[in-house]
Amino acid sequence: MQGEAGYKPSPDCPSCGLPMRYLRSFSQHDRLHELQTFECGLCSVAFTDAIEAKQPETAARAVVVA
């Protein structure tokens, strides 16, 4: 989903130009950024990028009807 916070499409391999496959994510201690690692299956090139981390869902809000 492109509108979702923290979503970033797979980058293209800088060597062959094919889309890289997603390997893993690492959360950072400051929780502002997340590291995502991608790898090209053809070239074995790996790429790690920092993206804005998803914010946790807030608790349901109570609705007061007067």
| 4-62 pLDDT tens trace | 555 567 889 999 999 999 998 887 666 677 888 999 999 999 988 887 766 555 545 55
Domain contains 4: no
Domain contains 37: yes
Phi and psi angles of residue 43, each rounded to the nearest 5 degrees, phi first: -95, -15
Query: Are residues 23 and 48 in contact, defined by beta-carbon separation less than 8 angstroms?
Result: no
Separation of alpha carbons 66 and 55, rounded Å: 32
Separation of alpha carbons 26 and 46, rounded Å: 15
- Parent domain of 48: 21-52
- Per-residue pLDDT, 30: 64
Taking the model in full, what pTM does it have? 0.59
Number of domains in the chain: 1
